[in-house]
């Protein structure tokens, strides 16, 4: 019999994968536009920089001088037009204002219908994230079952590990919900 390190390893792996799923959710939700300026809206936007799709945050600094205004200051003035094109092609629905040095993005207030659409999108992303966390739990359950079948761990060790795995899962599912609630509150703020 193993010393329990196999179960610890399985639980640690599941926890790390679940944490990555939640981090991805956080990044994903940052790209959803609210009525307030947020650098996360554009930082991951891919810009065609000399033929290479590059995240905007590597090409420019993004500032929030006012509640409804983003400024994008490219490190290389030559990338100004490429950044402007990437914003126009994106599904953000924002109109960049380029003065030759800096790009200004005015964030219009969301209409009630658009707000409701965004809330539905947030709910979908949260549910997708929860499904991903539950799939990771399922993988962990299978690994623990296999360890028991191969006599690496006892039935009691498997049961305790399954309970621990469920607690970890519950924590991340709850975390996804609270992250989503925060985003929903941002969306509903007028």
Q: Which of 69-73, 81-85, 115-119 has the lowest mean pLDDT?
A: 115-119
CA–CA dist 86, 12 (Å, integer): 39
Q: What is the pLDDT of residues 154-185, one digit of tens each?
A: 999 999 999 999 999 999 999 999 999 999 88
| Positive or negative torsion for Cα 18, 37, 40, 115 | positive
Q: Residue 190 — very low, low, confident or very high, per pLDDT cuts 50/70/90?
A: low
What is the chain's mean pLDDT, rounded?
A: 89
Find where tokens 């205004």 sit. Answer: 69
- What pLDDT does 38 receive? 81
Q: Is the pLDDT of residue 68 over 90?
A: no
Q: Is the pLDDT of residue 80 over 50?
A: yes
66-to-45, 72, 74, 98, 130 alpha-carbon distances in Å: 21, 13, 19, 17, 34
Q: Residue 1 — very low, low, confident or very high, per pLDDT cuts 50/70/90?
A: very low
CA–CA dist 90, 31 (Å, integer): 11
Calculate mean pLDDT across residues 69-76: 92
- What pLDDT does 28 receive? 87
Q: What is the pLDDT of residues 96-150, one digit of tens each?
A: 999 989 999 888 887 888 888 888 989 999 999 999 999 999 999 999 999 999 9
Of 76, 116, 70, 115, nearest to 95 by C-alpha is 70
Calculate mean pLDDT across residues 5-14: 92
* Domains assigned to the chain: 5-30+111-188 (1.10.132.20), 40-106 (3.30.1360.40)
Q: What is the pLDDT of residues 137-150, one digit of tens each?
A: 999 999 999 999 99
Q: Is the pLDDT of residue 56 over 80?
A: yes
pTM summary value:
0.71
- What pLDDT does 2 receive? 47
């Amino acid at each position: 019999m193993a010393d329990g390190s196999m179960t610890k390893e399985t639980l640690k792996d599941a926890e790390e994968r679940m944490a990555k799923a939640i981090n991805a959710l956080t990044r994903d939700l940052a790209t959803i536009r609210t009525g307030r300026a947020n650098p996360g809206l554009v930082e991951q936007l891919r810009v065609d920089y000399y033929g290479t799709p590059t995240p905007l945050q590597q090409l420019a600094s993004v500032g929030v001088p006012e509640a409804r205004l983003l400024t994008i200051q490219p490190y290389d003035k030559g990338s100004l037009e490429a950044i402007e094109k990437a914003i126009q092609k994106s599904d953000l629905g924002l109109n960049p204002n380029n003065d030759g040095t800096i790009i200004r993005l005015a964030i219009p207030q969301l209409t009630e219908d658009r707000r409701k659409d965004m809330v539905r999108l947030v709910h979908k992303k949260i549910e997708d994230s929860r499904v991903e966390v539950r799939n990771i739990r399922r993988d962990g359950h299978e690994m623990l079952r296999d360890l028991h079948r191969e006599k690496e761990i006892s039935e009691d060790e498997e049961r305790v590990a399954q309970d621990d795995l469920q607690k970890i899962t519950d924590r991340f599912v709850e975390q996804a919900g609270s992250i989503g609630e925060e985003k929903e509150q941002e969306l509903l703020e007028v």
